[in-house]
Amino acid sequence: MKEVKTTVMTFLTLFLSVGTLICCVLPVILVSLGLGAVVVALISNVPILVTLSQYKGWIFILSAGLLVFTAWMLWRSSRSCPADPKLAALCDFLTRWNKRIYWTAVVIWLIGFLVTYIILPLWVWLGD
């Protein structure tokens, strides 16, 4: 049962990390590539993107908190697999996949953070 909770938290973390890409990185990349009209069409068809970008700080804080909590769930010292060979094999399988998904979420979050809070402000500052 613990592995199911960890798996749910891992997927939730991945979902929120992808949310940081959708709200913050996708528009920046599209505008950088000269596709500003695509961003305008995207925002007019999916107006929630404006709201997400207004609260991007909270989205990043929440997703970072979930990343930390998921890491704690994956690598806590009290975590153990059952003694039954079939359940132990399933536990090991789920643990491996949870770690892969977790690291994917971390990379996605880092890309979103770098583009939103470091590269874009640096680009704007150097462009002026």
The pLDDT of residue 3 is 64
Average pLDDT over residues 65-92: 84
**Confidence band (pLDDT; 50, 70, 90) for 1?**
low
What's the confidence (pLDDT) of residue 115? Answer: 81
Phi-psi map region of 76: left, alpha, beta (phi>0 left; psi -120 to 50 alpha): beta
Predicted confidence (pLDDT) at residue 128 exceeds the cutoff of 70: no
Mean pLDDT of the chain: 81
Percent of the chain with pLDDT over 70: 95
Mean pLDDT confidence for 81-101: 85
Q: Which of 65, 85, 61 is nearest to 73 (CA)?
A: 65
**With contact defined as beta carbons under 8 Å apart, do 41 and 48 qualify?**
no
| Per-residue pLDDT reduced to its tens digit, 98-123 | 888 889 888 888 888 888 888 878 88
The predicted structure's pLDDT at residue 8: 77
CB contact burial 77-93 (16+ within 10 A = b; e otherwise):
eeeeeeeeeeeeeebee
